[in-house]
Amino acid sequence: MSFSVVIPARYASSRFPGKPLALLAGKPMVQHVYERACQSEARRVIIATDDARIVEVAEAFGAEVCLTSPEHPSGTDRLQEVVQKLGLQADEIVVNVQGDEPLIPPAIINQVARNLAAMPQASIATLSEPVETVEALMNPNVVKVVTDSQGMALYFSRAPIPWPRDVMQQGMPTQMPTEYHWQRHIGLYAYRVQLLNDFVTWAPAPIELTEHLEQLRALYHGAGIHVAAALEAPPAGVDTPADLARLQQLLECA
């Protein structure tokens, strides 16, 4: 089983401009992600960026870099540009590792790639972990996923799906209902290259625009998405300077 890793790293960010180059334990954050990805079984790790500053820094620490257009509407479009430039074949597997996940476990990078390779009916593989609190269940920033008996995604939503009707009829619960094992989606994806080539030709789906969840476009167009419980729970990524400070403290205490 062979796969590549692509790490999208945009300089522009409304909440944290220049985030990939922010220093964490003396290294740019994107270098931490790159080094984690290199610890996986990937045959190739590429940083994809639209900014020359990131290119310069990434090349300085020895990374392969692909300069992409700044006009992409989504991260998946950027990923497709990379596989096209690299000339990857339609049946090859690419894992998209977000550039703001500096502590991502290499084991789960391997996991999504292996799962996709083992599931010919799937075009995408991703991961989940249990939802453990009512607050997380009701939080629209925690994306929930429901699968069938084979682990294929039925739907992703910001809403608490499935809806625990009997419990909710009694008012907001103070502890997690026990009727179902709710799952939070972890945003790590393995793709077959053909899916990426198809994806950029599809218009955004109504359900995607409603939920603001890009993976719903693939479901809407009939692509199979395999979901498995993550072998390791990834630490929270970095969205803000406060998140970076939290990780810095975590690394100092380790």
Q: Residue with structure tokens 């740019």?
A: 28
Structure-model confidence comparison of residues 14 and 219, the more confident one: 219
Position 232 pLDDT exceeds 70? yes
Tell me the CATH number for domain 3-233: 3.90.550.10
Q: Is 172 helix (H, G, I), strand (E, B) or coil?
A: coil
pLDDT in tens, 149-197: 999 999 999 999 999 998 888 878 878 888 889 999 999 999 999 999 9
CA distance linking residue 122 with residue 110, whole number of Å: 16
Q: Sign (positive/negative) of CA torsion 158, 160, 163, 166? A: negative
Say whether pTM exceeds 0.85. yes
Q: Give the model's pLDDT for residue 253.
A: 66
- pLDDT of 14 over the 80 cut: no
Contact 61, 21 (CB under 8 A): no
DSSP string of 38-49, one letter each residue: HTSS-SEEEEEE
Residue 179 DSSP SS3: coil
pLDDT tens per residue, range 178-189: 888 999 999 999
Length of the chain counted residue by residue? 254
**Sequence spans of domains, the chain:** 3-233
**Mean predicted confidence (pLDDT) in 111-118:** 98
The beta strands (E) that lie in the chain are given as: 3-8, 23-24, 27-28, 44-49, 64-67, 93-96, 124-130, 144-147, 153-157, 183-192, 225-229
